Structure 1
Amino acid sequence: MKALDIAQVAQVAQLAKIAPSALRFYEKKGLIQPTGRHGLRRRYGPEVLSQLALIALGQTAGFTLDDIAEMFDARGRVTLDPERLLSRAQEIDETIRQLKKVSKGLKHVAGCTAPNHMQCPQFLKILGRVKAKASGNTR
């Protein structure tokens, strides 16, 4: 595949819901590299499309741009650390567990028949857990 100019990359970025200004920012951060210029337009190799996809995926997974930058070698090739990915996956799993608890609690409170939420034993239990966590006392 031949080199892509910035307009073509911007079209792909738009499809991926990446702002054109993000392309310049990614370039400044060293996440993508132009292969040259054609007049005033920067040109990129075809691998930039995969790099943009990896950046988007990394951000969705909660990695910072600095974390993502470390996933590329000096030539822009992907170098993933399996341990780091597994660690992040475990963090995501824990977040999902916590969000499921929150969802269950919200559903209970929304349908609670107690005359006042402060009289609902389940709601008070939820509040107690939140207070304990905030004060550093985990039960």
Structure 2
Amino acid sequence: MDISEVARRSGVSASTLRFYEQKGLIASVGRRGLRRQFASGVLEQLALIALGRSAGLSLDEIARMFGADGEPRIDRQLLANKAEELDQAIRRLTAMRDGLRHAAACPAPSHMECPSFRRLLGLAAGGAMGGRDRKAPARKRRPAPKRP
């Protein structure tokens, strides 16, 4: 199958196919004129690459999941670790969604008086501050210089 056929059938651009080949994710089996030729199994490899990308794996992580023969050699621990990362993200996003829904319908006179909204602010601040735990000790502040 030539590169244009692979691009058409997979939905992956020819330039991306060349990039994947350069990264060692796929391999052409030869050339017909100037056009790269690929075995039909490349479509399955591209599907696995797409799955890995949608799960948040880097191209380097995906590349390690193919043997020299192009056959999958999937790292189960890597998948388990990625699944745990996704679980953590889902929990954070679920808490944020629930907090936003509560804030939208909150009967408190001011959102700042609502304990649920205050927790939502804490979640947002933790993410904006690099995930700093609210119980972590605060940084020491320098005393203000004394004025004469």
Deviations 1:35-87 (A, max 9, x none): 00111111001110011000000001110000000001111111011111111
Aligned to 2:132: 136
Separation in 1, partners of 2:109, 2:16: 51
Matched, 1:74 2:64: no
Distance 2:101 2:45 in 1: 40
CA pair 93-128 structure 1, distance change in 2 beyond 3 A: closer
Structure 1 portions without partners, runs of 5+: none
In structure 2, the gaps of 5 or more residues are: 136-148
What SS does the corresponding residue of 2:31 show, helix, strand or coil? Answer: strand
Correspondent of 2:121 among 119, 122, 127: 127
Aligned-partner Cα distance in 2 for 1:137–1:89: 23
Distance 1:81 1:34 in 2: 24
**Residues 1:117 and 2:114 are matched in the alignment:** no
Q: 1:45 to 1:132 in 2, by over 3 A?
A: closer
Aligned partners of 1:128 and 1:45: how far apart in 2? 53
Q: Give the count of matched residue pairs.
A: 133
Cα RMSD over matched residues?
Answer: 1.8
2:2 is the alignment partner of 1:5: yes
Normalised by the length of structure 1, the TM-score is 0.86
The TM-score normalised by the length of structure 2 is 0.81
- AA paired with 1:137? D
For residue 8 of structure 1, give the secondary structure of its aligned residue in structure 2: helix
